[in-house]
Structure formats: structure tokens, C-alpha cells
């Protein structure tokens, strides 16, 4: 969440910056400023009374030594009155602090200066592109038909077992899926990311720490009996490794990668654009996460973008990078770059990765800090990216590499699959 210090320093600048995300924060910001005055007033009263209590405690001791019991009893009665008054002050202080926190949790992150204006995906900016477009005939099949033809993914069986959006991978389809996971993890390891295997369910504190709560309850699967959430991405458990951690600055950056299944309700998703692997309730993904000092985070962001680009190039897929406009960004992001690959049979671009810098927004929720040269603590910057999400990568690989003989497997994956064609 945004820090109170940033809001108090220049509330109008915060309000104007949030307009880039099409978010009108004036009412919330003005209420925070008002509550902060109450908070400071009550804190000052609390401090004054604490000082008075200390003074009276010393006085009572002196009166008792002097044998002035009546005066000491009067002082004790005054102390009891002050303590009772302190309870009321503490309640008022907590009420103000709780309301400030509640409001802050519902204000999105400020977009950085590089974020373009816009209200929807149509306003995103194509920043870079590469890869050769495949040339397929008019009889080219979409991946859901290829999956059935070669018996590598069974969507109907997934519906039988669970429901729509839970496919079953079979034979060479399962091996290709596993090959992609191992390839992505190996490439992340070469780039310096330390692999972790996190839990697939998280508690409420973890959801709040990375900003899924209170923003995305409707998209998350909730286990009500235990009050736990199935993860929508490995970003959540991996970033929460560093919740309530204070680093020595020499220990930064922290770089982790993780494979996980991901679970998303994707409520309200219908139509041809969600067929097959285009939009699932359960899917596999390899995530990269970085914890950085603020002055290093944008250089780290470029490294992460280069890493994802390199994966797509090794998979021989046509790709482009979008710089998202304010209206298409997530609640928590300061800037996001989406990577999309071309789906030749569907004749459309498919998103396969989002790489984001959250600056100090998540770190403030997480209380993730480092100690500088002056021994003062500073909020870290957090970043993450998909490297990569598998379903649409699989869709593009199947469609773009179809031939009369079968589906060719990119060279980068053949040592993992053990075969070079699906036939």
C-alpha cells in the first residue's frame, strides 16, 4: 500500500497520479489526512499522559517514604483516573489507525511516469516485437482440434472429473507440459534465480501482503473451513517468504523462481476467446520474483524483460511486448509489461507473461525492509514476472508448429521431451 508519508508530503500529486489508473482518490486521501490529524492528536495526548503517570508514580513513592499516606492515596486515585482515561485515548487512537489502514488497503499503487494514459487494452503501447510469423494454410487447426487429433489434451475428461477449465494432459501432451516447466526452471537457474517450491494455499495475511486481498477475492478459490486461499500465482507465497524481514543491504537482491499450479475462478469469462487453453481455472506457471533496493529496481525490471524475451526466442515463437496503460494495469503495479505470442490458427495474440515493478507498494504491506548505511530501515522494491505461463505457450506451440507429418517440437525442448514431433 502507499505510505502515509508519501500521501502527507504531497496529497494532490498522489491524487493526480492515481488518475492515470482512472481512480479518483480525492475522498479517500482527504479522509486519511483528516484521520492522521486525529491520530497525531491522540498520540500526543497518550504521550503526555504517559509522562504524567511516570511523574506521579515517582511522587507516590516519595510520599510513601515520607509517611504521607493520605496524600499518596489521593495520588493513587488520580493515577487510576488517568489510566482509565488512557484506555479511551488508546481506543480512539486505534480506531483512527485502523480506518487509515483500511482506506490505504483499498487505494491502488501509483503508476510510474512511464505508464501511458488509457482506459483499456486498446490503449496499450507495443514497445518491441520479434520472431518470424509462421505461414500456415487455410486448413490449419486451432490447438483444441489438434489436441483431440493427436490425443494429447482431453478437455471433456477434465469437465467430467472437475469442470470446465481443468484439462487433462495425456501422453506426449503431458511430457511436453513437463518439458516446458523444466526448461523454464533451468533457464531461470542459469539467470541466477534460486528455486523454491512453495505451498499452493496461503493464509489471509499472505493475500494481503501481495495485494490479492482485498482486491481479488472474487478470482480466488477460498477454503472457508480453514480460511485459506488457493494461490492464483506463485508470486503470492514466494514474495511472502520475505514478509516481516529486515535485510542487511549486502544481502540484496533476492532472486527466486518457482513452479506451481495456479488457480483462478476467472468469473464472467465466456465465448470463443476462452476456448481450449486460452483461459483456464487451473494452469501451470514458472514465476520469477525479485526483492531489490529502490535504486536498483528498474534495472532489475529490464533484466527480467530480457529474460522472458530470451525464453520466447528459444521457443521460436513470434512475440511482442506491450507497455500497459493506466486503465489496464493491476491494482498493485507501478508499471507492467505484457508479453504476447502469436497464435497462428486463431490469428490472435495471446498473453503469456506479465512483468511488473511494484516499487514499495507490496513491501509496505509486507514490512519488507533493509538496513542502510545509516542503520535506518528502508522499504524494499518488489518485482515479479511470469517466466512463463504454460497454457497459451502450449497453444501457440501446437498451432504454429503443425505440419502434415505432425507437430514439430522446438529444438530447445527436444532434450526434455525425448521426441521431436508429436504424431
Within a domain: 110: no
pLDDT score of 267? 57
d(CA 92, CA 45): 11
List pLDDT tens digits, range 22-34: 999 999 999 999 9
- Shared domain for 210 and 310, answered yes or no, is yes
Please give the residue range of the domain that contains residue 60. 4-105
Higher pLDDT: 62 or 228? It is: 228
Checking if the pLDDT of 158 tops 90, the result is: yes
- Shared domain for 54 and 174, answered yes or no, is no
Within a domain: 293: yes
- Shared domain for 90 and 238, answered yes or no, is no
pLDDT score of 94? 92
Residue that is last in its domain, among 80, 105, 130: 105
pLDDT score of 137? 86
Residue that is last in its domain, among 51, 74, 105: 105
The pTM (predicted TM-score) of the whole model is 0.92
- Shared domain for 228 and 370, answered yes or no, is yes
Instruction: Return the beta strands (E) in 362-405 as ranges.
Output: 369-371, 377-379, 381-389, 402-403
For the segment 219-229, the average pLDDT, to the nearest whole number, is 95
d(CA 181, CA 194): 15
- Shared domain for 376 and 323, answered yes or no, is yes
Checking if the pLDDT of 83 tops 90, the result is: no
Checking if the pLDDT of 270 tops 70, the result is: no
Within a domain: 262: yes
Within a domain: 403: yes
The CATH number given to whatever domain includes residue 14 is: 1.10.287
Write down the H helix ranges in 260-388. 297-314, 361-366
For the segment 292-312, the average pLDDT, to the nearest whole number, is 98
- Shared domain for 85 and 188, answered yes or no, is no
> Structurally, how many domains does the chain consist of?
2
- Shared domain for 36 and 185, answered yes or no, is no
pLDDT score of 272? 56
Checking if the pLDDT of 204 tops 90, the result is: yes
For the segment 36-63, the average pLDDT, to the nearest whole number, is 82
pLDDT score of 86? 81
d(CA 321, CA 128): 5
- Shared domain for 127 and 67, answered yes or no, is no
pLDDT, the chain, mean: 94
The CATH number given to whatever domain includes residue 252 is: 3.30.930.10
Amino acid at each position: 500500500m502507499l505510505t502515509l508519508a508519501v500521501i502527507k508530503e504531497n496529497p494532490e500529486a498522489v491524487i493526480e497520479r492515481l488518475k492515470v489508473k482512472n481512480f479518483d482518490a480525492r475522498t479517500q486521501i482527504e479522509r486519511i489526512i483528516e484521520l492522521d490529524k486525529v491520530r497525531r492528536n491522540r498520540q500526543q495526548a497518550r504521550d503526555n499522559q504517559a509522562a504524567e503517570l511516570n511523574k506521579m508514580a515517582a511522587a507516590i513513592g516519595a510520599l510513601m517514604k515520607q509517611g504521607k499516606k493520605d496524600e499518596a492515596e489521593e495520588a493513587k486515585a488520580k493515577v487510576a483516573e488517568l489510566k482509565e482515561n488512557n484506555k479511551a485515548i488508546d481506543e480512539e487512537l486505534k480506531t483512527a489507525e485502523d480506518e487509515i489502514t483500511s482506506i490505504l488497503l483499498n487505494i491502488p499503487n501509483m503508476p510510474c511516469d512511464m505508464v501511458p494514459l488509457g482506459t483499456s487494452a486498446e490503449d496499450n503501447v507495443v514497445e518491441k516485437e520479434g520472431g518470424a510469423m509462421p505461414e500456415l494454410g487455410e486448413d490449419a487447426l486451432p490447438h483444441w482440434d489438434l489436441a483431440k487429433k493427436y490425443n494429447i489434451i482431453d478437455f471433456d475428461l477434465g469437465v467430467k472429473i472437475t469442470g470446465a477449465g481443468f484439462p487433462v494432459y495425456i501422453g506426449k501432451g503431458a511430457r511436453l507440459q513437463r518439458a516446458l516447466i523444466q526448461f523454464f526452471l533451468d533457464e531461470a537457474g542459469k539467470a541466477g534465480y534460486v528455486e523454491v517450491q512453495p505451498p499452493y494455499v496461503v493464509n489471509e495475511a499472505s493475500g494481503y501482503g501481495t495485494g490479492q486481498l482485498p482486491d481479488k477475492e472474487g478470482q480466488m478459490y477460498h477454503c472457508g473451513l480453514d480460511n485459506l486461499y488457493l494461490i492464483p500465482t506463485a508470486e503470492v507465497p514466494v514474495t511472502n517468504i520475505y514478509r516481516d524481514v529486515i535485510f542487511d543491504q549486502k544481502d540484496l537482491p533476492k532472486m527466486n523462481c518457482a513452479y506451481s499450479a495456479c488457480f483462478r475462478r476467472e468469473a464472467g469469462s465466456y465465448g470463443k476467446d476462452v476456448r481450449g487453453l486460452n483461459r483456464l481455472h487451473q494452469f501451470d506457471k514458472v514465476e520469477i520474483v525479485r526483492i531489490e533496493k529502490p535504486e536498483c529496481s528498474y534495472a532489475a525490471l529490464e533484466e527480467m524483460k530480457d529474460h522472458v524475451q530470451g525464453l520466447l526466442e528459444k521457443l521460436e515463437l513470434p512475440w511482442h511486448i506491450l507497455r500497459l496503460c493506466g486503465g489496464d494495469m493491476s491494482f498493485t503495479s507501478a508499471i507492467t509489461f505484457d508479453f504476447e505470442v502469436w497464435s497462428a490458427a486463431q490469428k490472435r495474440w495471446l498473453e503469456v507473461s506479465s512483468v511488473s515493478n511494484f516499487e514499495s507498494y507490496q513491501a509496505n504491506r509486507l514490512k519488507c525492509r533493509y538496513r542502510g548505511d545509516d542503520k535506518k530501515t528502508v522499504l524494499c522494491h518488489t518485482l515479479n514476472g511470469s517466466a512463463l505461463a504454460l497454457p497459451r505457450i502450449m497453444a501457440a506451440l501446437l498451432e504454429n508448429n503443425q505440419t502434415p507429418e505432425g507437430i514439430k517440437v522446438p529444438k530447445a525442448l527436444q532434450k526434455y521431451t525425448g521426441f521431436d514431433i508429436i504424431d
